[in-house]
Each structure stands twice: as structure tokens, then as C-alpha cells.
Amino acid sequence: MRNWILGSCIALALPCVAVAQQPAAADKASASTTSKNTTAQPKLADLLEAKVRAAWDAFKKKDKNAYAEFLTDDFQAVESDGDGERAKLHVLREVEHCMYTDYTLQMFQVQPLGPEYAFVTYESSMQFPRTSTLHFRRVFVGELWTQRDGKWKMMRYQETLVR
């Protein structure tokens, strides 16, 4: 009877040991993949955050040519004013009429969507002149960036007003 119980325990324990070892191997494989991605992702996140900040700076300085360098030819934007979608040329005309005097960009998140695309989200708080009817505006922004000819450029811009 003792041999039968011992044999049953061993028979039940062997599959448990085998199952327990498989996730450990899978975890090691995913850990090596994750470590490669976490090395690449912060570099992309830092690069795109720097590009977003530089684009906002060019817009604030009313430098239409510098701002245009960040946009794809088929760029489209939707701003929170409810006026619908804007093409690249329309947005570039708006650069000359920039009204904000200061801005803060924060809460950046970058999600790679493959080797040539990334989705960037962040919050922008803008200040306007005292003489303006609008003194402060806060928006959440989502941007689709694409890599074309080795350069990352903004393809889509969408902002949502924070109330």
C-alpha cells in the first residue's frame, strides 16, 4: 500500500514540475525581448519628445519654415476649436498668427506602432496675452509620427480641450 501511495504522489508531482518549468523558460525569453525593447523604446521616446518640443518652439517663434520641417506632406490636424480637419498648408498659415505667449508640455507617452510609426500623447497648457479674451487653455494632444526617408515627421495631430 505504501508503494502504491508513493507511486501515485510521484505520478501527480511530475506533471506539476514540468508545467512549472515551462513558464520560467518563457519568462526568460520575454525578459530578453523586453530588455531589448526597453532599451530601444526610451531612445525613441526621448527623440520624439525632443521633436515635439522643438515643433512647439518653432510654432511659438512663428517660424513657418522650421515648423514645416516637422510635418509630412499629407499632414492633417484637428484642433479643439471645432473647425474640423486642417491640411498642412492651412496649419502653416496659422503659424504666422500664433497667439500664445508661453506653454508647458508634460505627461509624455510614446507608443511604438511598428518600425515606422509611433503614437505620442501629452498635455499642453498655453498662456495667452492679457489683452486676449482667452487667457489660458489646456489640451490633451495625440500625434501620429512616421519615419520617412530616415526622418521622424508628424503625420496627424489631434487635440482635445480639458475643461
Confidence of residue 15 (pLDDT cuts 50, 70, 90): very low
pLDDT of residue 40: 54
Cβ(138)–Cβ(124) below 8 Å: yes
* Main-chain phi, psi angles of 133, to 5 degrees: -70, -25
What is the percent of the chain where pLDDT is above 70? 75
> Domains (ranges, CATH) in the chain?
44-161 (3.10.450.50)
Residues 6+ apart with CB under 8 A from 51: 70, 145, 152, 154
Confidence of residue 9 (pLDDT cuts 50, 70, 90): very low
Burial class (CB in 10 A: 0-12, 13-18, 19+), 158: middle
Average pLDDT, the chain: 81
Q: CA angle, corner 123, sides to 130 and 62, nearest 5?
A: 55
**pTM (2 decimals)?**
0.73
| pLDDT, tens digit, 9 for 90 and up, residues 18-75 | 444 444 544 444 444 443 444 457 799 999 999 999 999 999 999 999 999 999 999 9
